[in-house]
Amino acid sequence: MSEVLHQEKSMIAIEQIRSQFPILSRKVNNQSLVYFDNGATTQKPKSVLDAIQKYYSEINANIHRGVHTLSQEATDAYEHSRKTIADFINAEHAHEIIFTRGTTESINLVASCFGKKFVNAGDEILVTEMEHHSNIVPWQLMCEERGAKLKVIPVDDNGELILSELKNLLTSKTKLLALTHVSNTLGTVNDVKEISSLAHKNGTAVLVDGAQAIAHTEVDVQDLDCDFYCFSGHKMYGPTGIGILYGKEKFLNEFPPYQSGGGMIKEVSFEQTTFTTLPYKFEAGTPNIEGGIVLGAAVEWMKNIGMKNISAHENELLQYAIQQLKTIDGIRIIGEAKHHASAVSFLIGNIHPYDVGVILDKLGIAVRTGHHCNQPLMKHFNIPGTVRASFAVYNTMEEVDKLIAGVKQAKKMLS
Ligand code: PLP
């Protein structure tokens, strides 16, 4: 991804974009806010805030079950959003898009249903050493339950997957491989298409954690040919509490239900219940109607700017930040993969990342510090955590300069 983008120059009107984010004009500790914690959650543009307001002030009603006008309008808006999201990731069918609470719930859904249907004692699940805890623990619990084994693709010291190991790790028992598209700590972009193809040749299903990719690059699930792709609304300029599970129809149809209740049944009697079709089979109970509708507005907002433009701009910020950080004596960049996007992690000598984060906050600069829900990866690098600056389309080169000045100041104060 980033190799190609090096040749591109971003085409965005940054001030026009920034003016759409009310929060960006607030002060933090009497300083202009510099928000570099986008990997944790992005800020929201006015069109998204307006969509929330519009939903509750104009069409709020429960969906799918009402004959009255408001219910039909809310249903139409919710289903329109599902279609918008399906088109955005080039899913073959809108019913392959399941609304969930977020990436974590999407992965839990697959781990639970895939485990029940396809995993038996002695089988194996593959994850990578760079996974977020959300893409480790659900598999670990499922493996315990099914008597299966969790195996791990290691990373090298640049933060790249050691793909030569993959051939040994894929066996006739490997039922599923779960990997991140972009690492939340290292920024490594994994070659999902190539890995999917290797896994499929082995008869292994592939789940991709797209939490850190979806707002930063074009995603085409048919081209990647993954079986499942998971992401969260709040990391893509949308609201919290809403996310997506994309799943190939053939798997979702075979899965047992995840949660049960209203909305997911065909017929209920005390003797037996039958279940409805996709996508509703996996959307028991009243869903997050507002979140679903507004996520569609967030996708429209990104599409308006253009994913290529977003990627190109963020890549310029990333490359500049890395280059500037490297001019500071004692800086150690964690994650120097050839294909790198969205975030840079670093340490200053032996200074604890938390202390750097506190000083940056005093300067109005929001970064994330700690293990980033990547404890096994921290163990690999033998570090307690990192300072992570993660980018969004509204960030500027001047903000990178402020970050660099802040890091220099933190170094001076803490050395
Ligand atoms: N996977 C990755 C790579 C992440 O970065 C995150 C969140 O930071 C998650 C999964 C979990 O996302 P959520 O908390 O929105 O479910």
pLDDT at residue 8, rounded to an integer:
41
Looking at the fold, whether 133 and 65 belong to one and the same domain comes out as yes
Among 268, 303, 338, the domain boundary falls at 303
**CB 184 less than 6 A from any atom of ligand 1:** yes
State how beta strands 149-153 and 205-209 pair. Answer: unpaired
Looking at the fold, whether 35 and 53 belong to one and the same domain comes out as no
pLDDT at residue 11, rounded to an integer:
75
Looking at the fold, whether 106 and 229 belong to one and the same domain comes out as yes
Which atom in ligand 1 lies closest to the alpha carbon of residue 235? Answer: 15
By residue range, what is the domain housing residue 121? 49-303
Looking at the fold, whether 337 and 286 belong to one and the same domain comes out as no
- Is residue 1 in some structural domain? no
**CB 212 less than 6 A from any atom of ligand 1:** yes
Q: Ligand 1 centroid vs 100 CA: distance in angstroms?
A: 13
Looking at the fold, whether 362 and 235 belong to one and the same domain comes out as no
Looking at the fold, whether 362 and 232 belong to one and the same domain comes out as no
Which atom in ligand 1 lies closest to the alpha carbon of residue 103? Answer: 16
- Is residue 367 in some structural domain? yes
Q: Ligand 1 centroid vs 19 CA: distance in angstroms?
A: 27
CATH of the domain at 231: 3.40.640.10
pLDDT at residue 36, rounded to an integer:
98
Question: Per the structure block, which two tokens stand in for 173?
Answer: 């028992």
Q: List pLDDT tens digits, range 39-92.
A: 999 999 999 999 999 999 999 999 998 899 999 999 999 999 999 999 999 999
Looking at the fold, whether 36 and 116 belong to one and the same domain comes out as no
* Catalytic residue list: 373
Looking at the fold, whether 192 and 334 belong to one and the same domain comes out as no
Among 255, 284, 303, the domain boundary falls at 303
Are the C-beta atoms of 115 and 127 separated by less than 8 Å? no
CATH of the domain at 394: 3.90.1150.10
- Is residue 146 in some structural domain? yes
Looking at the fold, whether 30 and 141 belong to one and the same domain comes out as no
**CB 180 less than 6 A from any atom of ligand 1:** yes
- Is residue 75 in some structural domain? yes
Looking at the fold, whether 289 and 410 belong to one and the same domain comes out as no
Taking CA atoms only, the protein residue closest to ligand 1 atom 14 is 104
Q: Ligand 1 centroid vs 296 CA: distance in angstroms?
A: 19
- Is residue 7 in some structural domain? no
Taking CA atoms only, the protein residue closest to ligand 1 atom 6 is 211
Among 263, 286, 303, the domain boundary falls at 303
Residues of the chain scoring pLDDT < 50: 1-8
- Is residue 5 in some structural domain? no
The count of domains in the chain is 2
Looking at the fold, whether 272 and 379 belong to one and the same domain comes out as no
- Is residue 156 in some structural domain? yes
- Is residue 252 in some structural domain? yes
Looking at the fold, whether 78 and 92 belong to one and the same domain comes out as yes
pLDDT at residue 6, rounded to an integer:
38
